[in-house]
Structure 1
Amino acid sequence: MNISLTPELENRIKSKVETGLYNNASEVVREALRFVELHEDWVNEIKLSALRQKLNVGLQQLDNGEGKTISSTQELDTFFQKIKQI
């Protein structure tokens, strides 16, 4: 299997190997994958927490009368396009 990495990621992996903690790049990548798997639930909880915070901001805005009425599918499409750009 071949994996393409950005130059920055290659340098970071080389740097880890140069510390002597890893014998080669494969060990660094394996360790990173183990880290991701072990911490996946934690990362998902952080993402969910951030989403909840944004939802609460939106709900406060609605409570303050800062909502926007959308009356056509074209307006809705435009609205979602703006959200995607954020």
Structure 2
Amino acid sequence: MHISLTPELEYKIKAKVESGLYNNASEVIREALRFMEQNQELIHELKLQRLRMDVAKGAEQAEAGIFSDRSVEDILSSLNQQD
């Protein structure tokens, strides 16, 4: 399997290996995936909490008469890029 990483992610992986905590990049990736799987519910709850905060902020702005000129497609596109 071949994966592409940003330079920042490559740097972080190399730093973990160089710290001596891991023998190679594969160990770092495996540990990150295990952590992600173990904390999937927490991650989901944090994302949901963020969404609720954003919706509340939007509702407050709407009540104050503050609206966006952006299209629904533009808003959805920017939301998808955040994930």
Where structure 1 has 5 or more consecutive residues not aligned to the other structure, the ranges are 69-77
So what's the TM-score if we normalise by structure 2?
Answer: 0.72
Moved >4 Å (runs of 4+): none
Shift in Å, 1:44: 1.0
Shift in Å, 1:49: 0.7
Instruction: Note if 1:56 corresponds to 2:56.
Output: yes
Distance change in 2, residues 1:28/1:55 (3 Å): same
So what's the TM-score if we normalise by structure 1?
Answer: 0.70
Shift in Å, 1:65: 5.8
Give the CA RMSD over aligned residues: 2.5
Where structure 2 has 5 or more consecutive residues not aligned to the other structure, the ranges are none
Offset from partner CA, 1:25-70 (integer Å, 9 cap, x none): 11000001011111111111111111111222233344x36276xx
- Higher radius of gyration, 1 or 2: 1
Distance 1:54 1:10 in 2: 32
SS of the equivalent of 2:3 reads coil
- The count of residues paired between Structure 1 and Structure 2 equals 77
